[in-house]
Amino acid sequence: MYIFISTLLLFSLSSSAAPEDREDWLDNFKKTFIENFCEAPEVFNCYSNFSPNCPEDVGAKVIFCSKKIQLPLKIKLGPESGLLGADIGRCVGRELEKTVKKKNAGDPKCKSLL
């Protein structure tokens, strides 16, 4: 799910072909990722003990993961930014797996999350 959201967000943000500064790109990515992730009802239906501070927690994990994968200073919008977004999404998913517990594990809608 994170990879799908990340890729979808990045292609929707990539309206121009000019490279974007890392900080601007990351600010846009983080804002859009948080909005889409924290409002996804399946996240809260499939996991217990999910933080009520979703925007802050997920935002911190996006920043952590962007540092972990070492984003370049300039990011070319399009396929390159889509791959970077997918990498961040996977990392955020792995980090969240460490703190949340699955519920409704038998539900097919929950199998593809985290």
Check residue 48 and report its DSSP letter: E
Taking 80 as the threshold, does the pLDDT of residue 31 lie above it?
A: yes
- Structural domains of the chain, count: 1
pTM recorded for the entire structure: 0.74
pLDDT the model gives residue 16: 53
Contacts of 21 (CB under 8 A, 6+ apart): 73, 74, 75
β 74-75/20-21 pair status = antiparallel
Between residues 12 and 96, the one the model is more confident about = 96
**Host domain of residue 98:** 2-111
β 47-48/101-102 pair status = antiparallel
